[in-house]
């Protein structure tokens, strides 16, 4: 692309593969500028790319193209390579809108369907996405939440390696996100991952793996998972709590401050929270690995 800092997510995956690492793909807090600024500022500090994921419900409110343009403008101003990924969408029409709006990577969540139908639906979506130059992450396994809620009230699953191999082969997905003991929504706990299943899935599939529930996984375990083919880590819940706690603490001391003051406190806390994912996962200087 010309005059832009936006990169295809495929290039970010290639960079992670070449370094044998896993890149944190960070949910930017329903698009709050403080989250975007924190990720981009930290990426610039460490000369690394910024991988940003979004939930479609938020982005649809302002438009996928508008959000892409916003991230592009902010990243270009800072000289930071950036990429956008649509997280956990169950709606093919929403996914198509995201692709048309400039998202180069999307997740089609088919965990609500029986296995055969999940394959069929994912395959059709992959064909569409590939025709538009986008890549697809998908999962047929249910990844629960620490405290339950909604579909996550179903029993936690652990992905069957043989099914994973068949799903990847028949659908043509570019990224596979298994359930390996990880949970969404963790804040004060570190989940023990099932390393036997991780190694079996790593040996069974030949596409990059995504680790959801990053807030509940220790960075040393993320690095270990990278050795088994995990190239993408989803991160949000921890950052939401860090930001909220910093804002509450600021307002408790200075309740009359304007929002710019408490937002700045939240942004500073976010930058401190995301920095270990750049320094601890061998991402310092990794922007130089991209064809900028």
Comparing 186 with 247, which gets the higher pLDDT?
Answer: 247
Output the furthest CA–CA distance in the chain (Å, rounded). Answer: 58
Query: DSSP E strands: which ranges in the chain?
Result: 23-27, 50-55, 82-89, 105-109, 135-139, 175-176, 209-211, 230-235
Three-state SS string over 25-68 comes to EEECHHHCHHHHHHHHHHHHHCCCCEEEEEEHHHHHHHCHHHHH
Reply yes or no on whether the pLDDT at 151 is more than 70. no
Give the predicted TM-score (pTM) of the model: 0.93
Rounded to whole angstroms, the Cα distance separating 126 from 129 reads 5
Reply yes or no on whether the pLDDT at 39 is more than 70. yes
- Supply angle C-alpha 12, 16, 18, rounded to 5: 115
pLDDT at 59: 86
Reply yes or no on whether the pLDDT at 126 is more than 80. yes
| Burial of residue 206, with CB atoms counted within 10 A of its CB: 0-12 exposed, 13-18 middle, 19 or more buried | exposed
Summarised one tens digit per residue, pLDDT across range 213-271 is: 999 999 999 999 999 999 999 999 999 999 999 999 999 999 999 999 999 999 999 99
Rounded to whole angstroms, the Cα distance separating 89 from 110 reads 9
Tell me which residue of 252, 203, 262 sits closest to 227, measured CA to CA: 203
Tell me which residue of 242, 222, 146, 144 sits closest to 185, measured CA to CA: 146
Architecture of domain 9-289: Alpha-Beta Barrel (3.20)
pLDDT at 193: 93
Q: What is the arithmetic mean of pLDDT over 183-211?
A: 91
Reply yes or no on whether the pLDDT at 150 is more than 70. no
Comparing 208 with 157, which gets the higher pLDDT?
Answer: 208
Tell me which residue of 187, 89, 198, 180 sits closest to 143, measured CA to CA: 180
Rounded to whole angstroms, the Cα distance separating 185 from 235 reads 10
Name the DSSP letter for residue 235: E
Rounded to whole angstroms, the Cα distance separating 136 from 94 reads 13
Name the band, by pLDDT with cuts 50, 70 and 90, for residue 146.
low
């Amino acid at each position: 692309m010309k005059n832009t800092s936006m990169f295809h997510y495929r290039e970010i995956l290639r960079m992670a593969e070449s370094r044998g690492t896993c890149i944190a793909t960070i949910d930017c807090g329903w698009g709050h500028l403080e989250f975007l600024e924190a990720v981009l500022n930290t990426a610039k500090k460490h000369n690394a790319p910024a991988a940003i994921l979004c939930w479609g419900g938020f982005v649809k409110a302002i438009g996928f193209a508008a959000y892409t343009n916003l991230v592009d403008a902010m990243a270009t101003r800072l000289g930071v390579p950036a990429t956008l990924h649509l997280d956990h969408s169950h709606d093919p029409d929403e996914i198509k809108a995201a692709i048309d709006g400039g998202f180069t990577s999307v997740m089609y969540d088919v965990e609500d369907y029986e296995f055969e139908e999940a394959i069929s639906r994912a395959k059709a979506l992959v064909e569409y996405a590939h025709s538009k130059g986008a890549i697809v992450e998908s999962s047929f396994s249910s990844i629960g939440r620490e405290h339950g809620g909604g579909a996550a009230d179903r029993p936690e699953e652990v992905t069957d390696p043989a099914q994973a191999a068949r799903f990847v082969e028949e659908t043509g997905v570019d990224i596979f996100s298994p359930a390996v003991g990880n949970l969404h929504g963790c804040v004060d706990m570190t989940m023990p991952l099932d390393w036997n299943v991780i190694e079996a899935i790593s040996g069974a599939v030949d596409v990059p793996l995504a680790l959801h529930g990053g807030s509940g996984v220790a960075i040393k375990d993320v690095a270990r998972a990278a050795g088994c083919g995990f190239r993408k880590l989803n991160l949000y819940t921890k950052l939401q709590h860090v930001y909220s706690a910093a804002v509450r603490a600021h307002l408790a001391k200075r309740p009359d401050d304007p929002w710019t003051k408490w937002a700045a406190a939240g942004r500073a806390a976010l930058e401190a929270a995301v920095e270990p994912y750049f320094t601890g996962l061998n991402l310092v200087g990794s922007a130089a690995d991209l064809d900028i």
